[in-house]
Amino acid sequence: MKQKNFFFFLLFLVLLMAIACQSTTKQLDASKTMLSDSGELTRAELEQAAKTIANRIANNLKKQGKSGYFAMLPVRNNTSEIIAHEVYADTLVAELSQLGFPALRVEDRERALKELEFSQTGLTDRQLTAGRMKVPDFFIETVIDENIFRSAGERIIEQTIRSEVRSVETQIVLLTERETYRKKPRLQGGGLGW
């Protein structure tokens, strides 16, 4: 009887170990393109969209004979998912800077003014020069929208990343660029299946 109980105990431990090994986290290759089961945008898609849109914005502004600095307004996420929109914003800033349109962080102005004021006290190793701050020529506002619909009984998720470039002086919209991703999620009920 003891051997039988011991055998079942060992069998239970082996099954438990097999289940535990299957549910552990494993490292994936970040350079490999993947789609999410629930249809939300991935990091790779956000980066690719930012690069594509940055190239279009730079080319259109150059065709119009425009140059200057831009300020990125906060990205608005109007979807039902949590999207790492900072990935998009950071990639767009980097790409536009490489293409000759450097970014200004206007949200840092308050801190910059305090540093400028402090440097004028004589307590620092050098003084910052007043009157050298840059102002943006363009604002870029990005909105990520989502449309969920059914087609032939299948749930379809369409997410659009739209970036609008506006003149700071005139508030005129100079151009709008967008990238749309349409997916049929494997999880047809919606949401994450954790």
Which CATH number belongs to the domain containing residue 50 in this structure? 3.40.50.10610
Q: Is there a domain that residue 27 lies in?
A: no
Q: How far apart are CA 27 and CA 112, in angstroms?
A: 41
The confidence score (pLDDT) of residue 70 equals 94
Structural domain contains residue 106: yes
Does residue 15 lie within any of the structural domains? no
Residue 80: per-residue pLDDT: 79
In the chain, how many domains are there? 1
Q: Tell the burial category of 131 from Cβ atoms under 10 Å away from its Cβ (0-12, 13-18, 19+).
A: exposed
d(CA 3, CA 156): 57
Q: Measured between alpha carbons, how far is 82 from 76 in angstroms, rounded to an integer?
A: 11
Give the domain extent around 52. 38-183
Identify the top-confidence range among 2-6, 99-103, 190-194: 99-103
Residue 163 lies in a domain: yes
Report whether pLDDT(159) > 60: yes
Confidence class of residue 119 from pLDDT cuts 50, 70 and 90? confident
Any domain includes 26: no
pLDDT at 170: 94
Residue 111 has pLDDT above 70, yes or no: yes
Q: Name the phi and psi angles at 101, rounded to 5.
A: -125, 85
Distance CA 184, CA 138 (A): 36
Residue scoring higher pLDDT (31 or 181): 181
What predicted TM-score, i.e. pTM, was given to this entire model?
Answer: 0.73
pLDDT at 192: 44
Q: DSSP letters of 150-180?
A: EETTEEEEEEEEEEEEEETTT--EEEEEEEE
Whether residue 159 is contained in a domain is answered as: yes
The answer to whether residue 25 sits within a structural domain is no
- Mean pLDDT, the chain, whole residue set: 83
Residue 156 lies in a domain: yes
